[in-house]
Structure 1
């Protein structure tokens, strides 16, 4: 395998859910993958093993995207991995996927909950991307993961939705400022997905799944498999002229 010419993606929160599915979908398209995980190393290593079975190289690194002070050390770890495993100084695709789900009404949202959402979903994305800019190859891509909740509103997600709205604005600014390097930046907004995210609220409630399905043109809630392929498509060479765009993958929710 020619590691020097391999396309390499870094996916935050790639050990589970949508991040895991995206990692496997990219590997199936011939992309090597570095995933991050916050605490479950065994889970992350299992994803690495699955990617290896697909014939691609992979590595897992620990990272808490809510702790900005750890980013410089993480970037150095990533440099070392790129040199040792790929004989490369840079990677091609950054997917800012890691997140936490907090459900609370506007009236009951605490400052601690708000701060956690800011740190993970906005501040972390902002400064991790900034820190990794020297490691992203010219002509590369950045894909930020937002949510359908930045377009439509459901009670209990005011803080979460607001953070994702901020990410969507940031995406346009990044596309503008990084264009000189040929780096395209887009945002992917999944709809309701049946995973363990946010305490598996969608997956565990038949009533909620039925309600969401009734609001969705394709008549059901999303699966992780519905999203991984979209990530791979948006990062494919054929999509290089798409820049500064919001792509919603919700099956046509609340049209």
Structure 2
């Protein structure tokens, strides 16, 4: 079986798919034969670029817009998905949902405002909850849900306390959904990246910070978005049919033993 046949005939939605880890996931799934819906919140140009990259390599993708964290965001997203998919050759419905979109609030507890707190939970926790709720009627039996969390939920990291709390709530959603959706053959898992080199992390422009983050891994390097996408691809495929309700750290062994 070639890589183009692994997920052939399936349809995926990747939230936050226009940049960073989300873009790597979109590209990886498309290479394996998936029709990929590349969701974006603000950067249409980045989403179009991701779609073009996929198409240039023989894959299929389309961009769709919904600003997460606002009332009605899940309904807006699925309405856009249904409308655009109606113009494709694929059957209606969904096989793979990747809840990747998220924001961080890099502040300790003393500096987090109520607006900060509400915003980070609205995007990182509330949006995935209702995206799943509204999306389940569209999801075919035997489908896959992967929630992108953070290794920070398993270590003390006071500098991003609100972000870590929001992602920890997402971790629980994985457990609950895995139990509920098992009878339909739908698996639900969490992938938790560690320090990953993406263009949306401005701290990595500082050499000292970049070196510190790299040294946290047992491999003494930062993760690449493709490192995360490889794990997601496995969980999205048939080989992971017996894996559900799991929290999988894709962190390069960051902070092991310390």
> Taking structure 2 as the reference length, what is the TM-score of the superposition?
0.93
Secondary structure of residue in 2 paired with 1:33: strand
What are the residue-to-residue correspondences of 1:119-130 with 2, within 5 Å? 119-130=122-133
Give distance in 1, aligned partners of 2:151 and 2:76.
Answer: 33
- 2:88 paired with 1:59: no
Structure 1 residue 95, shift from structure 2 partner:
0.1
Structure 1 residues 221-245: Cα deviation after superposition (integer angstroms, max 9, x where no partner): 2121221222112212111111000
Q: In the alignment, is the contact (CA less than 8 A) between 1:194 and 1:200 conserved in 2?
A: no
Give distance in 2, aligned partners of 1:99 and 1:72.
Answer: 18
Aligned residue pair count: 251
Alignment correspondent of 1:216 = 217
Q: In the alignment, is the contact (CA less than 8 A) between 2:66 and 2:76 conserved in 1?
A: no
Runs of 4+ aligned structure 1 residues displaced above 6 Å come to: none
Structure 1 residue 77, shift from structure 2 partner:
2.3
Secondary structure of residue in 2 paired with 1:85: coil
Deviates more, 1:18-27 or 1:216-225: 216-225
Give distance in 2, aligned partners of 1:183 and 1:139.
Answer: 5
Question: Aligned-residue CA RMSD in angstroms?
Answer: 1.7
What are the residue-to-residue correspondences of 1:1-255 with 2, within 5 Å? 6-197=9-200, 199-201=201-203, 203-255=204-256
Give distance in 2, aligned partners of 1:153 and 1:242.
Answer: 27
Structure 2: unaligned runs, 5 residues or longer: none
Structure 1 residues 27-84: Cα deviation after superposition (integer angstroms, max 9, x where no partner): 1222220011011111111111111122221110001121241322332221222232
Secondary structure of residue in 1 paired with 2:224: coil
Secondary structure of residue in 2 paired with 1:66: coil
> Taking structure 1 as the reference length, what is the TM-score of the superposition?
0.94
Give distance in 1, aligned partners of 2:88 and 2:238.
Answer: 23
